[in-house]
Structure 1
């Protein structure tokens, strides 16, 4: 791979090639990033719902057990 870029100006390696890669694979990169963000958002929603359920169940169990002690 180094032989291909030998003798070319620095801007070809560091500017032109990445820009071409972004143009060609930009849609794919955007799709992957949006899918990961969507997955992380769904995971956050899941964790929040499970945490809320556990909180409600523990609150209900502690209040019902304290009433039965009387």
Structure 2
């Protein structure tokens, strides 16, 4: 690979090749990034729902325990 770019100007290696790679693999990169962001969002929603459920159950259990003392 080194000898392939040996006679080329600097802009071929640092500008043209990354631009071509983004054009060719841009859709794949964006779909992977979108999948990861979607997965993180779903994980965040899951954690929030489970945390809310635990909060509500503890609050309900605490209120029913205090009601039994009366």
TM-score by length of 2: 0.94
Deviations 1:1-43 (A, max 9, x none): 2121112111001000000000000110010011111101111
Structure 1: stretches of 5+ with no match in the other structure: none
The total of aligned residue pairs comes to: 70
Structure 2: stretches of 5+ with no match in the other structure: none
Name the counterpart of 1:59: 59
TM-score by length of 1: 0.94
Distance 2:2 2:40 in 1: 38
Name the counterpart of 1:30: 30
| Residue pairs, 1:1-70, within 5 angstroms | 1-70=1-70
Quote the RMSD (CA, aligned, Å): 0.8
Distance 1:6 1:15 in 2: 15
